[in-house]
Structure 1
Amino acid sequence: MSAVRSKICGITRMEDALAAVEAGADAIGFVFYAKSPRAVTVQQVRAIIKSLPPFVTTVGLFVNASRCELGEILDAVPLDLLQFHGDEPAHECESWHRPYIKALRVKAGDDIAGACNAYPTASGVLLDTYVEGVPGGTGEAFDWSLIPRGLSKPLILAGGLTPENIADAVARVRPYAVDVSGGVEASKGIKDHAKIRAFINAVRKAPY
C-alpha cells in the first residue's frame, strides 16, 4: 500500500473540491494567477473552503505575485500552505511566515539538489516540467531519471501525471506526494470526477 499523498490542483468549483475530498485527496490547490485558465477569485475560494471537512490541506498557488496582491489574498482566505511557482527567492517565500513549498521546473542539466538546498525553510519542493514561458500546468511529463536521490526536502512530483502513468511514476520516483491538475480534467478548470477517483486509487495501489 502506497503512503504517497495526493493533491488535486486547479480547483475552481465546489463540486470538484468535494469530489476530490470524497475520493481521498490529502490536499486541494487553488491557482491565484490571472493568466492561468484555472485562475480563481478570493470569493470562489472562500466559499469552497467553508464547505470542506477537517484535515484537508488547502494550498494557494502563486506566480511572482506582488506583496500587495498576496497580502490581500492571505488576509481574506484561510490557506494552510503557500505554493510558489515563479522566480521567488527563499527570503521572499519565508517572509510570509507561513508553511510553503517551492516549485522548480526541471530540464536536463539542472542542479536540482542545489536548487532544493536554496530553499532551506521550505516544507517541500515540487518538481514540474520546464516549458519556456509557462510556469506550470503544461500537461507534459519530464524525464524522471533527472531527479537525484536523497534530496534535502520532501519531493512532490508534478507535471503530466495521469491515472494511467501515476503508478509507474510513484514506483520510479518514490515521491512524498504527487500533484495533478490537467490529468484529471474534463476541460481546463473543470475536473472529471471519475478521473480523480482513478488517479487517487492508482496512487494508493502503487508499489512503493
Structure 2
Amino acid sequence: MLKLKICGLRRVKDIDIVNKYNIDYIGFVFAKSPRQVSFNQAKELSGLLKEDIIPVGVFVNEDLKFIVDLFKEGIIEIAQLHGDEDEKYIQNLKSISYEITGREIKVIKSIEIKNNDENNKKYDDNNQINNDIDFNEKLLEWRDSVSDYFILDSGKGSGNTFNWNLIDKDNEMLKKPFFLAGGLNSENIGLAIKEFNPYAVDLSSGVETEGFKDEEKIKQIVEILEKYRK
C-alpha cells in the first residue's frame, strides 16, 4: 500500500499533526537546513510520536557515530543519506549499528535527478545531449546496494520537481521499493503516483505555509492518497 512520509518536522505541533493523520514515516533533518534539528530536539519530538510512525533521520555526509547514536537512543529507525555516501559507507553504517545495538539500521539512499546540470550531461552518437542515459545508468549503479530503499529527489531540500521524463519507467530499479520526492504537492502528486507507482511519496515544502507545516495541506495530501490506496 502506498506510504506517505512528511519530512522536516521541528515543532511539537508538527508531531501532533502527523499523529492525528497516522503518517507512515516522518523525517528529522540533521543536515544544515532551515528545518535542521539537534540531537536533543529530535529526541524530544521522536518521543511524542505514535509507536507505528517510523522516524527517519536525514543526513549529508554525517559522521557514522552520530547516526548510530541516534539509532541506539531510538530517535530514528532509518537513515536517509543525501550526500556523497558510497556503498562502503552504507555497509559500515549497517555493520556498526548492528555491533552496538544488535539491530541493523535501515537505509534510504538518495539518487539526485537534476535538471539541466552540466555536470550530469552525456552525449549520444550524434553528439546530442542525452540525459536519459546518465540518470538511468545512475540508478543502475545502485542495483546491488545493501540500501533498503532509495529515494528519487531533485536535490537536497530544493523543493523543485525534476523532469520525470529523464527516468525510464521500465528501469529495473523502479521495481524495488523507492520513495519519490522533489517538489511534490497537492497539485502534482496524483500524476506523480501514476507516473512512477512508488512505494512512498515524500513531502516537505509542499505541505508548508511560510516555512512551517500546514495541517490543512497535510490533510489534503492524506485525502488524495486514500484514492490511490483503494
- Class of the TM-score when normalised by the shorter of the 2 chains: 0.7 to 0.9
Alignment-derived partner of residue 139 in structure 2: 113
- Once the two structures are superposed, residues 3-56 of structure 1 have per-residue CA deviations (whole angstroms, 9 ceiling, x without a partner) of 2100000011111122023223101000001x2111001111111111111111
- Greater RCO structure (CA 8 Å; 6+ sep): 1
Q: Is 1:56 aligned with 2:53?
A: yes
Alignment-derived partner of residue 195 in structure 1: 217
Alignment-derived partner of residue 194 in structure 2: 171
Residues of 2 paired with 1:123 and 1:75: CA distance?
19
Query: 1:29-178 to 2 correspondence within 5 Å?
Result: 29-33=27-31, 35-97=32-94, 98-107=105-114, 108=131, 109-110=134-135, 111-117=137-143, 120-130=145-155, 136-148=156-168, 149=170, 150-151=172-173, 153-178=176-201
Query: 1:11-26 to 2 correspondence within 5 Å?
Result: 11-26=9-24
What's the TM-score, normalizing by structure 2? 0.79
Give the superposed CA RMSD: 1.9
Which ranges of structure 1 fall in alignment gaps of 5 or more residues? Answer: 131-135
Residues of 1 paired with 2:3 and 2:63: CA distance?
30
Give the conservation status (yes or no) of the 8 Å contact 2:111–2:139. no
Percent identity for Structure 1 against Structure 2: 33
- Once the two structures are superposed, residues 39-77 of structure 1 have per-residue CA deviations (whole angstroms, 9 ceiling, x without a partner) of 001111111111111111100000011234434444445
SS of equivalent residue, structure 1 residue 7: strand
Residues of 2 paired with 1:138 and 1:84: CA distance?
15
SS of equivalent residue, structure 1 residue 163: coil
Alignment-derived partner of residue 27 in structure 1: 25
Residues of 1 paired with 2:142 and 2:17: CA distance?
33
Which ranges of structure 2 fall in alignment gaps of 5 or more residues? Answer: 95-104, 115-130
Letter in 1 for 2:190: A
Letter in 1 for 2:112: R
Residues of 2 paired with 1:102 and 1:198: CA distance?
28
What's the TM-score, normalizing by structure 1? 0.87
- How many residues matched? 198
CA change 1:76–1:24 in 2 (3 A) is closer
What is the Cα deviation at residue 116 of structure 1? 2.9
SS of equivalent residue, structure 2 residue 93: coil
CA change 1:112–1:202 in 2 (3 A) is farther
Specify the structure having the higher radius of gyration (Cα).
Answer: 2
Q: Which has the higher helix share?
A: 2
List 4+ stretches of structure 1 deviating above 6 A.
none
